[in-house]
Amino acid sequence: MTLEAEILAAFPAEIQIPATLVAESLAAAGTASPRMLVVLDDDPTGTQSVSDLPVLTRWDVEDFIWAFGQAKPAVYVLTNTRSLDPAEAAARNREVVRNALAAAGTAQDIGSGNGALRLGFVSRSDSTLRGHYPLEPDVIAATVAEVSGEQTDGVVLVPAFPDAGRVTIGGVHYMRGSGPDAGSLNPVADTEFAKDASFGFANSEMAKYVEEKSGGRYGADSVIVLDLNVIRASTDPQITANAVADALDAATNSTPIVADIVTENDLRALALGLAEAERRGKKLLYRVGPPFVRARIGQEIRNELSGAEAYAGYTPSTAGGLIVVGSHVGVTTRQLKALTEQHSAARIVEIDAGKLLAAETGTDSAGDYLGHIVDTVVDALHGGDVILHTSRLLIKTEDPAESLRIARTVSAAVVAVVNRTLKTFPPRFVIAKGGITSSDVAAHGLEIRHAIVRGPMLPGIVSLWEPVDGPAKGIPYIVFAGNVGDDESLAQVTRKLSNTF
């Protein structure tokens, strides 16, 4: 028996809940006026669990009006705040919420057409607990209160991402092992992600994590824990929904709430309970991992897209594709190794972070260095795919702000190369590996403003965006989180899209 099975033996068995049941409950609750979730995504990889939803990389009121006009149950806003310092992240969250509320106030005739659009807010962040917490939900709650007068009763933390091996059991967040460690269950504080230079942490027990990251403002004993005894309270979904809602009765003044999640059915059970709590009048915000929104809106799990589906509606270019790798976590480096070993026809081009940073203060021009890289990439795209990666030696400092500055400098170089390549010789497809990398490549490298996320390229992970405007229209864009997939995943996605692999 595995460790996970041993731990789960103390809790009730999983309850089967169809996505249609969640969708029906939301439809019944939204008859008076339509409701849309605005998902503030701190990097673009949160879209990997959903399909057919609008995505914004800009958040002017007019952008929200376009997104709301798609008449979907959620819209993703790419804030990229994981790459910002706290003050910048707070300002960006505040601006997004204000503009969304302003747009919603004018959104008559959307959905049911019976009034202005009602919004719920989701702060989507990392399934391995990195990011600006509790700052981001704090700012969202404060801004909603300032604009509408509505006070937040509870902030629901659901970092679980079962598709990628992140689960929460007994209030403890775990990461499943892969490869030779398959079958193991590791507390997330014991993984490489807890040592992040900017967002490190020491606790895997979610209540203690909340106390740690809030500096004691929320004590561990003040956190409401919805363990599997509540999430799986009954085989009757309504009884389970009531059990969840009952557990939230005491929530007030942004009480932290954490939930055990092991499966998609657990997420759907939670979704029913949260809907019931909101029906009773609770005002909730959500701080979550990628699959929460899928369950919360009652969306089915979409099958992975084929290569043909990725190009549906467009004639693929004869140029090679561009695979951009910026993430430095271990699984990304292993995926890059597997891809370069298998894809012998691809040209490999490295952006040397050391040379780039030296050029900032030295006699060499960073522009000249990047210009040479662009020329190399463009020339190679005429003959096949190009793997563009940053040097694998991560340059770190003891100062989190300086670490972020270095990361931004390297990311800006990647963006410049992608943008100049796009304007010179557009690639057949673009894959971006890593959260900050994929965000910056989308918003600045490819100049995507509005897109539709079509679905996953692998089961439950890795999303395909269809840019609907700008110079990248017609080029499939693949958002690939740094910390998901096995060693073969990057090669598998590339093989689907490439005409030379």
Is the pLDDT at 222 greater than 60? The verdict is yes
Residue type, 371: G
Tell me the average pLDDT across 177-196.
Answer: 87
pLDDT digits (tens, 9 = 90+) for 13-65: 999 999 999 998 887 766 545 589 999 999 888 899 999 999 999 999 999 99
**Sheet order of strands, 172-176 included:** 166-169, 172-176, 185-187
Cα(28)–Cα(60) distance, integer angstroms: 31
Helix (H, G, I), strand (E, B) or coil at 139: helix
DSSP state of 444: I
Is the pLDDT at 244 greater than 80? The verdict is yes
Listed in sequence order, the DSSP H helices in 382-488 are 400-424, 435-440
Cα(476)–Cα(432) distance, integer angstroms: 11
Cα(44)–Cα(64) distance, integer angstroms: 17
Residue with tokens 């309850």: 15
Residue type, 195: K
CATH class of the 3-296 domain in this structure: alpha beta
Q: Is the distance from CB of 395 to CB of 440 less than 8 angstroms?
A: no
pLDDT digits (tens, 9 = 90+) for 335-347: 999 999 999 999 9
Helical packing angle, 19-29 and 264-279, nearest 10°: 10
Sign (positive/negative) of CA torsion 246, 247, 250, 255? negative
Confidence label for 408 from pLDDT (cuts 50, 70 and 90): confident
- How many percent of the chain have pLDDT more than 90? 76
Number of helices (H) and strands (E) in the chain: give both, helices first.
17, 18
Confidence label for 417 from pLDDT (cuts 50, 70 and 90): very high
HSE toward the beta carbon, residue 346, CA cutoff 13 A: 26
For 240-249, 354-363, 492-501, which range has the lowest pLDDT when averaged over its residues? Answer: 354-363
Instruction: Read off the tokens for 168.
Output: 């929460």
Confidence label for 364 from pLDDT (cuts 50, 70 and 90): low
Nearest residue to 34 via CA among 109, 85, 140: 109
Confidence label for 109 from pLDDT (cuts 50, 70 and 90): very low
pLDDT at 110: 45
Fold of 307-497: Molybdenum Cofactor Biosythetic Enzyme; Chain A (3.40.980)
Cα(102)–Cα(95) distance, integer angstroms: 11
Most confident of 145-149, 195-199, 311-315: 145-149
Is the pLDDT at 125 greater than 70? The verdict is yes
Domain ranges in the chain with CATH number 3.40.50.10840: 3-296
pLDDT digits (tens, 9 = 90+) for 444-471: 999 999 999 999 999 989 999 999 999 9
Cα(273)–Cα(464) distance, integer angstroms: 31
pLDDT at 356: 78
Cα(241)–Cα(34) distance, integer angstroms: 22
Residue 318: Cβ-neighbour burial (10 angstroms; 0-12, 13-18, 19+): exposed
Nearest residue to 372 via CA among 361, 384, 382, 364: 364
pLDDT at 320: 97
Mean pLDDT of the chain: 91
Nearest residue to 261 via CA among 402, 325, 166, 353: 166
Q: How far is CA 273 from CA 124, 153, 244, in A?
A: 19, 15, 5
**Pairing relationship of beta strands 53-56 and 224-226 according to DSSP bridges:** unpaired
Domain ranges in the chain with CATH number 3.40.980.20: 307-497
**Pairing relationship of beta strands 477-480 and 461-467 according to DSSP bridges:** antiparallel
- How many percent of the chain have pLDDT more than 70? 93
DSSP state of 246: H
Q: Is 0.75 topped by the overall pTM?
A: yes
374 phi-psi bin (left φ>0, alpha ψ -120 to 50, beta other): alpha
Tell me the average pLDDT across 145-154.
Answer: 96
Helix (H, G, I), strand (E, B) or coil at 292: helix
Cα(225)–Cα(247) distance, integer angstroms: 9
pLDDT at 352: 85
